[in-house]
Amino acid sequence: MPSMSGRARRLAFSVVASVVILAGVARPGPVLALQAASAPFSWNPGKSLATAGGRLLSAWASDCPPPSGACATDRSPKMGVFVQRSPSGAVPAAWGKPKRVSPGDVQAERPSIAADGNLAVVGWVSQTSYLHYSPIARRSFWIRISTDHGATWRARRRLSAFDGRVDYPRLAVDGHEIFAVWTNANTGAIRFATTKDLGATWSKRTVATTSSVSDGSREGFAGLPDIGVSGTNVAVVWFADERGAQQVALSSAGGTDLTSSTPPTTLVGSSPNDGQRYAAATGSAIAGDPRVAVAFTTQSKVLVRVWDGVTLGPELAVASFPATAGGVLYAAGYGPAVLPTGSDGLSVAFAACRRRSVADPCDPTDPRARIDVLSRESPNGGATWGPFRRLTDASKAPYRINDEPSIALTTGTRRIAFDSYETSFVAYLVRMGSLR
């Protein structure tokens, strides 16, 4: 069978003795129209949902790609990255025909997408083989740009070295400027790139280094960086070392002052670090809102901090574990997504691991694991939080593992997309819930 890959890997977890009851959770709130947000046999590694010019965009990779659904080989078809669009007001989303944005003769996955106004950018990582993937072979980061909210896409551009290796790149867009971050897997450099002229010229530099090899030493260094931008405020977050130190570099000058000598802020000195508990950074969805939110996890919490260009705010606890939500006991959470909304709102989603008699309840390769996606909203910058909403029911087949969420805001509706699969990978796809 074809296999699925993404940022998620194995995660070590030790159960904390106490149990926390999540405030305000009696039963899951309404989730409108849980639906597919991809073709069958597809996935994404998070940060793969965006809004652009009245359209909702979903980016995903598939190794049994449309239109035929025939599964990839090293000849044809090739694994590829696709984008689908829907009118932003459609609930459920009315997805159009998937458009392949990676070349048909290239093996591609690890998608990311970002947009602002009519400007959108999608990225992917190319690899040399599908059937005989080698972690030491070259992996290059490519992007394509659209100026008409994803209707058409310009020629692809390579941002990383052709013969180098990268981990999992992330993208951001603000106004007419595009931002990208990734790890040079050969050196550990956290790379930062920007363009103000639709990719004609790029400014590239190293803003940090990492010794983390969370994807395994043969894969090379993997800081799993992310970037959030709102106006001139920028936050770049990454794993700094093998102990799971998570750091953030902050700018109020559009990132022009970010260099390898910029002192980072340490979010947490140590945390589980094996690829699943990556951090997230996202700029506000509201015009004129200066906030960039950073979400990250520790052994026992999902946390958010907010950068407003002057101050990096205090830790805001979205969830503490072990915890009971909607009558289900959860042992841990990982892979958060965050989005500043409204005048001072915050929206957070993450994978929540049901407590079970397994060594690691957050191991998506264990057939006994059951992992849901939960979301939570704050109307006042994290001072108070509303009830949790459970978007999935991992107790029921065929999708007992749900993780790597992405969040986008359309008119009056929050969209949360995530991977759904079984450990056997008999079936896997991206699903999406619409919340009001």
6 found inside a domain? no
13 found inside a domain? no
Q: What pLDDT is recorded for position 3?
A: 41
1 found inside a domain? no
| Whole-number Å distance between alpha carbons of 344 and 362 | 32
69 found inside a domain? yes
User: Which residue type, as a one-letter code, is found at position 37?
Assistant: A
Residue 9 has pLDDT above 50, yes or no: no
Task: Indicate the burial class of 195 (C-beta count within 10 angstroms; 0-12, 13-18, 19 or more).
Answer: buried
Q: What is the pLDDT of residues 65-105, one digit of tens each?
A: 999 999 999 999 999 999 999 999 999 999 999 999 999 99
348 found inside a domain? yes
Q: Provide CB contacts within 8 A for 293, sequence distance 6+.
A: 228, 281, 282, 284, 304, 305, 306, 307, 338, 339, 340, 346
Q: What pLDDT is recorded for position 214?
A: 84
pTM of the model: 0.93
Domain coverage including residue 410? 20-435
Phi, psi of 285 (to 5 degrees): -85, -5
Helix (H) or strand (E) holding 146: strand 139-146
Q: Provide CB contacts within 8 A for 243, sequence distance 6+.
A: 269, 270, 271, 273
| Whole-number Å distance between alpha carbons of 112 and 323 | 31
Could you tell me if residue 299 is left (phi over 0), alpha (psi between -120 and 50 degrees) or otherwise beta?
A: alpha
Q: What pLDDT is recorded for position 273?
A: 93
| Whole-number Å distance between alpha carbons of 359 and 166 | 31
Residue 291: half-sphere exposure toward Cβ, Cα within 13 Å: 24
Q: Which residue has the tokens 């069978």?
A: 1
Q: What is the pLDDT of residues 95-152, one digit of tens each?
A: 999 999 999 999 999 999 999 999 999 999 999 999 999 999 999 999 999 999 999 9
Residue 343 has pLDDT above 50, yes or no: yes
**Is-contact 338 304, C-beta < 8 A?**
yes
Residue 361 has pLDDT above 80, yes or no: yes
Q: What is the pLDDT of residues 220-278, one digit of tens each?
A: 999 999 999 999 999 999 999 999 999 999 999 999 999 999 999 999 999 999 888 89
**Is-contact 174 230, C-beta < 8 A?**
yes
Q: Which 3 state secondary structure label does DSSP give 318?
A: strand
Among the listed residues 314, 408, 378, 432, the one whose alpha carbon sits nearest the alpha carbon of residue 120: 408
324 found inside a domain? yes
Mean pLDDT of the chain: 93
Q: What pLDDT is recorded for position 2?
A: 37
Q: What is the pLDDT of residues 373-404, one digit of tens each?
A: 999 999 999 999 999 999 999 999 999 999 99
**Is-contact 180 169, C-beta < 8 A?**
yes
| Whole-number Å distance between alpha carbons of 253 and 61 | 34
Q: What pLDDT is recorded for position 25?
A: 36
> The domain spanning residue 356 has which CATH number?
2.120.10.10
| Whole-number Å distance between alpha carbons of 11 and 9 | 7
7 found inside a domain? no
Among the listed residues 295, 237, 305, 245, the one whose alpha carbon sits nearest the alpha carbon of residue 272: 245
Q: What pLDDT is recorded for position 150?
A: 99
Tally the domains of the chain. 1
191 found inside a domain? yes
- CA angle (434 as vertex; 388, 36 as ends), nearest 5: 115
